[in-house]
Structure 1
């Protein structure tokens, strides 16, 4: 059980022109520290298989990311050696397993494919949320930056006039993520988890406790594979950056938001953004990302190319 936070929304609606999501991989000189962005295409019939294929395809990149990130090593050490670290890890793991069982299967698959432990991959996906409660000093993403420190993160612009609208995203991250990302095209022949209104309906402090669980949509999958595109940080669930689902016409990008305090055991940002790739429409996406029970917060740009709408949504505990 965990305290359910207040969720705040800042929403702007505007018509959108139908657009095409394009990504060009550019190979730079060695001095530019650039690599051609790998394109990974995956076909899978179960969440575990999907994760396993992702982990295998990105095995080298995941190992490089672990090697480059001191914070991940600090978190794992704390989880292994301290009672506090073990308790914090357990709270997040239990609630993620209850609310997002299908995505936890993807995490188990990533671990298998990459030759890592489930603990390592879960910590990688929850490092900021864990960092609120496991003190790590200078390596912690949960710690605020020193006064005057230049703490750069992503940025987005949404502009429109009477005849045209556009959304633009700049992806920023830490040095540990340099050349460890890939572009994913997923073809999934299994049902997506359902996010009905009652699953993520607001539950204010003092209301009856509940542990929401995702339920599968309908019978075993019989139609053509559902697909999505996403920019992926190796080892993470897709996507902590941006993605697009052709069948629903939905796309999104993400911006960093860090509330001053976290909610122990709350939903991780990566699980919510993974859910956006399975959302059937803009309303379902909104219900998901503004749900009560989030560990921290995030800023979302949602684009609906069917209804020609765009939303800027900021959610914080």
Structure 2
């Protein structure tokens, strides 16, 4: 089976990595040109895009949500819009399809609640299937062992449709609301997506992973989480990271959890931040910050553990509860071997941590695993169960 056949390949024993340097547009173009066939194939396979987002985009109400959100992002982060335009041009695909992937649940959820408001819309809202997608993250913060382990879990059609990007971006003038001139980072990217919304680090020593959370009440005109976390790749320190997540003046349009630390932080603190959409009347994200000091550990999956907000995806919550139960059945992790055993755990039935039953009809799979070793300043990458296999590669963290 070829990538162009529209079929899902068996799990590839490969971890594609692109090294690129240039402006935002040039880096985006390199991503699109290098992985163009993969991006085109993913656009054909993506059921949320084809079954939900594109039909809704074709309605006047859907186009309004799209345009309001795009204009908001252009005001805050025009450089990342140019980066995505570069991806589209390099891959020779339509920009609106890529931006719809970045809108994610915003379009169906915003229209769902718009339809139930006083201004009834005429469009028929088709919700995309609510599958238990998501990711699991483990923090170990001991003096002799500081680790961030992460499974990247997604709809099965995403398998083999990802790559790592190591980029160095230098602009001739400050860019966006935070006046950034230089970025250097490594990030896992789903095909056609911007860096940042997975597992990543930057040259300032900011290391982070993302857990999707499906909030019920989403509105247009705010900053999609994909763009919030793309901006996180520019953060120079902990305060800058919190400023990016707060997104004052606009606020996040949707929800996620961010697990991060800064290598140069003398406190050697890890943080888990739950980010929820801005509430009515406030133009900033809701944040709940949990500190994990030296001697501590933490697990996070795909639900709000501390923020009280309605969640939209019951299957995702059920899966999160199951995976957290599995983690809590293990003894407290002390080293990378323990983290590999936990991230590779296949107990728990349908909602297990490492998701791969070998069947083509499986809805969700673990597509990649990464383990950051903060003391060694490396990231180990896996495409198979980390409890049963060796890392495909271990790469050094490139720091400023």
What residue in structure 1 maps to residue 53 of structure 2?
A: 75
Trace 1:167-178 onto structure 2 (pairs within 5 A). Answer: 167-178=148-159
How far apart, CA to CA, are the structure 2 residues paired with 1:34 and 1:105?
31
Stretches (4+) displaced over 6 A: none
Aligned CA distance change for structure 1 residues 234 and 193 (closer, same or farther; 3 Å) = farther
Q: Could you tell which deviates more after superposition, 104-113 or 283-292?
A: 283-292
With the length of structure 1 as denominator, give the TM-score of the two structures. 0.73
Is structure 2 residue 216 aligned with structure 1 residue 260? yes
Is structure 2 residue 254 aligned with structure 1 residue 296? yes
Q: Give the counterpart of 2:14 among 33, 36, 51.
A: 36
Offset at residue 96 of structure 1 (A):
0.9
Trace 1:217-296 onto structure 2 (pairs within 5 A). Answer: 217=180, 226-246=183-203, 248-292=204-248, 293-296=251-254
How far apart, CA to CA, are the structure 2 residues paired with 1:131 and 1:137?
7
Offset at residue 259 of structure 1 (A):
1.5
3-state SS in 2 of match to 1:171: strand
The structure whose RCO (Cα within 8 Å, separation 6+) is larger is: 1
How far apart, CA to CA, are the structure 1 residues paired with 2:88 and 2:257?
28
What residue in structure 2 maps to residue 206 of structure 1?
A: none
Deviations 1:49-73 (A, max 9, x none): 1111111111111111111112212
Asked whether the equivalents of residues 256 and 299 of structure 1 are also in contact (C-alpha less than 8 Å), the reply is yes
Offset at residue 263 of structure 1 (A):
2.2
Aligned CA distance change for structure 1 residues 112 and 309 (closer, same or farther; 3 Å) = same
What residue in structure 1 maps to residue 263 of structure 2?
A: 305
User: Size of the alignment, in residue pairs?
Assistant: 253
Offset at residue 215 of structure 1 (A):
5.3
Offset at residue 276 of structure 1 (A):
1.3
Trace 1:1-317 onto structure 2 (pairs within 5 A). Answer: 33-44=11-22, 46-73=23-50, 74-80=52-58, 82-134=59-111, 137=126, 139-140=128-129, 145=130, 151-161=132-142, 163-190=144-171, 214=177, 216-217=179-180, 226-246=183-203, 248-292=204-248, 293-307=251-265, 308-317=268-277
Q: Could you tell which deviates more after superposition, 150-159 or 249-258?
A: 150-159
3-state SS in 2 of match to 1:102: helix
What residue in structure 1 maps to residue 321 of structure 2?
A: none
Aligned CA distance change for structure 1 residues 31 and 277 (closer, same or farther; 3 Å) = closer
Aligned CA distance change for structure 1 residues 159 and 102 (closer, same or farther; 3 Å) = same
Deviations 1:28-56 (A, max 9, x none): xx995224121111121x21111111111
RMSD over aligned Cα, in angstroms? 2.3
Aligned CA distance change for structure 1 residues 163 and 41 (closer, same or farther; 3 Å) = closer
Asked whether the equivalents of residues 102 and 226 of structure 2 are also in contact (C-alpha less than 8 Å), the reply is yes
How far apart, CA to CA, are the structure 1 residues paired with 2:172 and 2:208?
21
Stretches of structure 1 that go unaligned for 5 or more consecutive residues are 1-29, 195-212, 219-224
How far apart, CA to CA, are the structure 1 residues paired with 2:133 and 2:260?
22
How far apart, CA to CA, are the structure 1 residues paired with 2:255 and 2:173?
24
Aligned CA distance change for structure 1 residues 162 and 108 (closer, same or farther; 3 Å) = closer
Aligned CA distance change for structure 1 residues 296 and 193 (closer, same or farther; 3 Å) = farther
3-state SS in 1 of match to 2:101: helix
Q: Could you tell which deviates more after superposition, 253-262 or 152-161?
A: 152-161
How far apart, CA to CA, are the structure 2 residues paired with 1:110 and 1:138?
27
With the length of structure 2 as denominator, give the TM-score of the two structures. 0.59
Asked whether the equivalents of residues 42 and 50 of structure 1 are also in contact (C-alpha less than 8 Å), the reply is yes
How far apart, CA to CA, are the structure 2 residues paired with 1:249 and 1:295?
27
Offset at residue 310 of structure 1 (A):
1.2
Aligned CA distance change for structure 1 residues 182 and 96 (closer, same or farther; 3 Å) = same
Offset at residue 77 of structure 1 (A):
2.9
